[in-house]
Chains A and B, each alone.
Chain A
């Protein structure tokens, strides 16, 4: 069966450190993968998209990698800040209609 697993339910780190979140998938062959941020009481907000032929993508303090051999994506936040505290979700396309399936998310807490 198809699965999307995010490494841990919660991750606590100290301000200034790099947060690394993991997304592993099984029985998908995605052309691309997306990462979203969700704050309490709000809908998910799109952050980054990485295609299968891209190894790495960066946006400001965010970096995403995509290894189709390992079937894994890593999401990094460098120089983390308390404002980065949120739940982060990875999403994979199923089919060809922007039909995305989401992981359960990792709740990140950055402590000052």
Chain B
């Protein structure tokens, strides 16, 4: 069984550039979550989708961040323009959309903005 697949695993880019992170959830899962993890702030929820529809994006830090889920098997998180303070590990997770379900995480994208 393939787990949650994220790409790229590492991204280094200069500030001001557009960054696109990608996620393929586990087949059959209808909830998808984007998180950001830093030493200072831990694991923060950015946005989550149920059945491809964004439910809560209150964790998205600024308008520079946007997320889409065009279909059940793909989601993107975009940062435009990127800034050094966006440097973090970004995780995608998926789960079934019923009560008491564990989330299954990808291995993250380590993003460094220079």
Contact = CB atoms under 8 A, between A and B. Distances in A.
Contacts of A32: 99-100
B42 A43 contact: no
Interface stretch (A12-20, A44-52, A56-64, A73-81): A44-52
A98 to B, nearest CB: 5
Interface in A90-110: 91, 95-105
Contacts of B34: none
B47 to A, nearest CB: 10
B40 to A, nearest CB: 10
Interface in A9-56: 31-32, 34, 41-46, 49, 51
A96 to B, nearest CB: 7
A99 B45 contact: yes
B50 A89 contact: no
B102 A49 contact: yes
B25 interface: no
Contacts of B100: 31-32, 49, 51
A103 B99 contact: no
Interface of A: 31-32, 34, 41-46, 49, 51, 89, 91, 95-105
21 contacts: A41-B107, A41-B108, A42-B107, A43-B107, A46-B102, A46-B103, A46-B104, A49-B102, A95-B56, A97-B55, A97-B56, A97-B97, A98-B31, A98-B96, A98-B98, A99-B48, A99-B55, A100-B103, A102-B42, A102-B43, A105-B42
